[in-house]
Amino acid sequence: MNQRRLLITIVLFLGFSLASAHAAQPPKKTEAEIKQLLIQESIAGYKGSCPCPYNTDKAGKACGVRSAYSKPGGASPLCYDKDVTAKMVDDYRKRTNQ
């Protein structure tokens, strides 16, 4: 009878442990969520006030063609989903254990 109790105790302990470990992990981000995070990081890392066409400058005017994104050469911030490659998403997942 003692062996049976011990076995039940071990099974219950393992079950609760696995449930706790699973509940502690944050839900995995979708590809769309990762792309938005990478775009936000890219824009936040840009030093000027016009990284993307849809941003506004210090005077509150739309950046449009004056944005770094619109100018060839120089800085190339990520502004749109299409700018984020599958490799960038994969790298993010590896880096963050997603």
SS3 (DSSP) at 56: strand
Structure tokens at 38: 């990478």
Question: Cα dist. 41→61, 72, 88 in Å?
Answer: 22, 21, 12
Stretch 62-78: mean pLDDT, rounded? 94
pTM above 0.75, yes or no: no
Could you tell me if 77 and 52 are in contact, meaning their C-beta atoms sit under 8 angstroms apart? yes
Stretch 86-92: mean pLDDT, rounded? 98
Give 89's contacts (C-beta < 8 A, 6+ positions apart). Answer: 31, 34, 35, 38
For residue 21, is pLDDT > 80? no
**The predicted structure's pLDDT at residue 33:** 97
**The predicted structure's pLDDT at residue 38:** 98
Could you tell me if 51 and 67 are in contact, meaning their C-beta atoms sit under 8 angstroms apart? yes
Cα Dmax for the chain: 80
